[in-house]
Amino acid sequence: MKPTFPQEDPELPVSPGGTPSRDAADNMVETREQFVERALAEYESPLVGYAYGFVHDLERARDIVQDTFIRLCQQDVAKVKDGLKTWLFTVCRNRALDVLRKESRVTPLDDDLLKRRATEAPSPDESLDQSERVAWVMRYLDRLSENQRTVILMKFRDGLSYQEICDSTGLSSGNVGFLIHTGLKRLRELLPSELLEP
């Protein structure tokens, strides 16, 4: 997978005649190309694994990563260079979620599955009770440190694996585990007893 690169940049140096210098243009394109190729070499495989965690299909994961790098080619290198890893994983995640949303709108309905889900669905009262519990837990979650809150939400709300959380945050697996463990322990201490009951 080799993305195409823009051939013109509005901020290229100009020759004395007022037109962009060809040498300068070549150097700018080459610099951008080298930047993207370095990013590809370093992050393509982890991103494919990350996208696969969402879509569970290797080809679709590769397509999502290709879209991510196409977007990178369209960015101002100076703006994304410092936070490249975070930028790539965020764009990849958003693209994967877009794909899942589109697919959920066009997935054909299975009558048996639909009936099963209807019988398994909670009653309106149960749904309201569950929503209220979630709202209360979210209020208490705000009392945790930002790191604890982030990894807990990624794990339990977004369903990410430890490795995906590590890839997205840059934290080590040990740090992620420690933050989740201490965050949940603190949350249990903060929550009223009625919220801890099943």
Quick one: pLDDT at residue 110?
Answer: 56
Nearest CA-CA partner of 93 in 58, 52, 57: 52
- pTM here is 0.42
**Which residues constitute the domain of residue 26?**
22-106
Could you say which of 47, 80, 106 is where a domain stops? 106
- pLDDT exceeds cutoff 90 at 64: yes
Higher-confidence position of 2 and 186:
186
> Cβ distance 130 to 122 under 8 Å?
yes
CA contacts within 13 A on the Cβ side of 69: 26
Tracing tokens 């977004």 back to the chain, one arrives at: 158
SS3 33: helix
Segment 132-179, tens digit of pLDDT? 666 767 777 888 888 888 888 888 777 888 888 888 888 888 888 889
Segment 116-134, tens digit of pLDDT? 554 554 555 554 556 666 6
Quick one: pLDDT at residue 158?
Answer: 77
CB atoms within 10 A of CB 29: 16
- pLDDT exceeds cutoff 60 at 75: yes
Could you say which of 106, 127, 153 is where a domain stops? 106
CA diameter of the chain: 77
Quick one: pLDDT at residue 26?
Answer: 47
Both 156 and 175 in one domain: the answer is yes
Mean pLDDT over all residues of the chain? Answer: 75
Nearest CA-CA partner of 69 in 86, 44, 104: 44
CA distances from 69 to 30, 35, 75, 80, 130 (A): 16, 11, 10, 12, 40
Both 79 and 54 in one domain: the answer is yes
Query: Is residue 61, in this structure, part of any structural domain at all?
Result: yes
Segment 33-48, tens digit of pLDDT? 888 889 998 999 889 8
Query: Is residue 6, in this structure, part of any structural domain at all?
Result: no
Angle formed by the axes of helices 162-169 and 173-190, nearest 10°: 100
Quick one: pLDDT at residue 1?
Answer: 56
Higher-confidence position of 12 and 98:
98
Specify the amino acid at residue 187.
L
Segment 16-31, tens digit of pLDDT? 545 444 444 444 444 7
Neighbouring residues of 65: CB distance < 8 A, sequence distance ≥ 6: 1, 44, 47, 48, 51, 92
Confidence of residue 92 (pLDDT cuts 50, 70, 90): very high
What's the CATH code of the domain at 120? 1.10.10.10
Query: Is residue 15, in this structure, part of any structural domain at all?
Result: no
Query: Is residue 164, in this structure, part of any structural domain at all?
Result: yes
Neighbouring residues of 36: CB distance < 8 A, sequence distance ≥ 6: 3, 5, 69, 72, 73
Query: Is residue 3, in this structure, part of any structural domain at all?
Result: no
